[in-house]
Structure 1
Amino acid sequence: MSSPTGSTALSVTQINKQAGDLLGQVFGMVEVVGEISEHKRAASGHHYFALKDDRSQLRCAFFRGNAQRCAHPLREGEEVVATGRLGIYTERGAYQLIVQSIAPAGEGRLAAEFERLKQRLLTEGMFAPEHKRATPALPRHIAVISSDTGAAIHDVRVTLARRFPLARVTLFPVRVQGSESAGELREAVSQLTGDVFDVALIVRGGGSLSDLWSFNDETLVRALYDCPVPVISGVGHETDTTLCDLVADRRAATPTGAAELATPITTSDMRQQVRRWADLGRMRWQGRLQAESQRLDGLTRRLDRGGPVEQLRFGRYRLAALNSPLRHGIERRVAHGRERAHGLRRRLEGAHPRRRLEGLREQLVGPASRLHRSLAAVTAVERERITTFSRRLLVSRERLIPRWRARLDVARLDPRDFERRLNAERTRLAGLSRQLEALGPRQVQQRGYALIETRGERRGDGSGVLIKRAAEVERLGGATGRLPLTIRFVDGDVAVEWTRPPPSQSSSSA
């Protein structure tokens, strides 16, 4: 409608939409800290609630798509940090925050405190590589600092028993979460002595930053730095990092990984080494036996040349007595080894995949032939069906052509009736053209508005890209810091150029 002065008034919907767009442009993406209240989940999956503090509140809408990607559940009365854009609900004219993500309020403060402690301890050199100590290859006594319940200590015990059961394991049970956890961890570290333990593990399962905060305690970190025993840290999962991980001599991604680092040589490795030593001893003994045999042969020759016949006969008997059991023993070992090798070869041939493939191939011959015969029969039936259908189509075509030719002769249009319809459509087209011109952008420009287009990028019709949001100027000109623009008024165009403002300015300038 028009006012007495001739200006065009805005509807309620238009003013609400423009106000919502203005809020989004002015504030952009914002983070709001508050307590969740009046939380409601609609049947569509959208969440509606209010963020409040001790003096005011802000209505929020958390739509289903963003809510499904949020790992943190919404709890009534919990303090959170909501990230989103400000807008106006058009139907009610209500001011609200369109939430995109939600995180617990405490996590942000803990992350900042973690970075502060990390930088200060890093400056002191507590994480320097030259202070890292090597862990023993064969630990005799392993200390484990962890909770006596849960999956972490179970995984460590199972891994140590499997890899190196010869090592003695002592558990220092502590709480790994809560206000008293850091003190118990420090007390356990203070009990580690180098004359009793060879290596120490400090482990726990994964969790949030607040759950793992006890392992970021500064006094605990300094106690680990001064610990006389090499320490391996296995706190959390692979993505979790604590100050204990950084100060420890070695860091593992999981508690199981820490147990593996503490036992680099397993009992299986030791068995293989013993076998290698036995083979080496056997080879040396055989070499020494051959040398002694040659030496006996030399003594025999010396007896032949200069000793009595009885002494020579006695020496030969003694040599035979020493040589015969050894030869028989070697022959028995060789025969036993051959029999074992033959048995293993027979087992290997019986379990060879080729035999199983041959059996499976024989099982597939029958179904394949049946499938081939079925396909041939189905193909023949379908071919006969297509032939019959083609004949029917030809017969139907011959019947329908005369009938439709007669209908077309009856349905020919009268020229005068066609002229009347054409005039009516022309009148309707003229009315639609007048409506389109009234709703076009030129009528809007005559009311005092202008269009902003780019001068560098062109569309298919030769015009520039229309700018609808301030963020589009920053996106198109962000790479070079400048963007040529054209402001189109109703009576002409004005060429301008946007340049990136200095850091001290808060808004774009043309």
Structure 2
Amino acid sequence: MGRLPFDPNRMRRAKQQAEGGRSAPASPSEANAASAAEGVLSVSRLAALIRGVLDEGLPRKVRVVGEITGARRSTHLYLALKDGGAVISAVLFASQLKKLQFDPRDGQEVVATGRVEFYEPQGRVSLIIEKLEPVGEGAAEARFRQLCEELRTLGWFAPERKRPLPTFPRRVAVVTSPTGAALQDVLITMAKRCPAVAVAVVPVRVQGESAAREVVRAIDFVSREHERLGIDAVVVTRGGGSPEDLAAFNDREVARAIVDCRIPVVAAIGHETDTSIAELVADEPRATPTQAAMRLTPDREALGRQLDALSRRFRTDLARTLRYEHQRLAAASRHPVLADPRGATRLGAGATRDRPRRSRRRRPRARWPPRPPGLIGCGSACTPRIPAARWRPPASRLDARAARLLREVTHRFDMRRAAAASLGERLEAIGPGAVLRRGYSCTLRADGTAARDAADLVPGERLTTYLAPGVGRGRCGQGLGRRPRHPGPNARKAQGLEPAGEAPREASPGNRPRGRSVGPLRPR
């Protein structure tokens, strides 16, 4: 380097040292100058030299054509321009951003006019854009759209092709970089939500030339070994970055590996604004790694609440069932058979002894035929309707149907016969014959009407009395009829109602009729 210019401060310090006084501290500029004199540059001096070289070696304004990538807005628009060999940062300030007639987006090819500056606090060379003009769609964006159309034609984006995710996965494989923040987000989220779900990390590169091949090999490995390893789902993820950083997940082979995977795949690539081919073909796309972990992991607290609700419901149903069965048991214990089994046995024995007598008493009499008249001609009525008269099926089927018809007719006859017998027993039980057998009698006048009241009888009237063993005939005595009491034998003789020397025609006390029976009767 050449000789440094005259510095008064340096001369003042030398003079103070010669006089033996304490020297003042050197300023940063003085230190830089001293360092430069010794051949060592400070960071600030090097930055100043770079800035000077750029200012002197480049024109005031340059025009650059390139493809927009990594565009993001705050107050200003920060982006990068790229081509096949390089990338340069650029910024469009808010004053110029308001004048744009289009909306800059990633993948769009533009011509930027501006100046190159070196920003010393960050050590960054940037293109300060003063004018931005659109040219058309960039090459990378065109390739992306062409691949999307091809895969859509193959049906890889179709919703019906995608598989449902497991509700309770045993283990989840995470295909990502082992040193990235995305893996930590997944592990922390899954540990908080449900620690019972195991995690298998499959380390791969997520950017660079070999990243796509490593991702394909990892997905194929998990697909082949998922049964042996107990893996039920796969998460393919990485953090945010520029489109160049995410290029590995826009590869056709990565999409093919996801489609051919035997278990469901969840893809979460980059930030929410990023879209990749891997997310489009995955069974469940998610915006961030945290959302992917939440989608695959059940919520421990929600499961606890569900278990509590089921437990309360089970206890309620169990208490209701026990209460109902207890009531049934109490009602059954009050039944006479269970309360006194020996008494029920004695009752059954008595009923068995009385059964023959009751059966004989309930037999239908000749006046009640055992079969209703409607069943007499049933057989003849069914004969013309036999299917054999109209249709001649094979012999085996005809025999089977004939046997079935015979069984049906016999069954119906038996049912009608049983019904008639039951009716006969009921008539026998409520008929007058059963009443007479219980010790009652029935007295009829000469005209066949029943004598219901002794006051209505006329002395000397002929009466017929029906008893259980037979029939008795006689006349109404003179003491009966409208008189309140019967006259004695002496009174009857005094009145001339009986001839002298003839025994009175009264029934003995043992043969005297009961109830409403009237008059002395003699059985035939």
TM-score (normalizing by structure 2): 0.42
Structure richer in helix, relative to its length: 1
TM-score w.r.t. length of structure 1: 0.43
Please identify the structure whose Cα radius of gyration is greater. 2
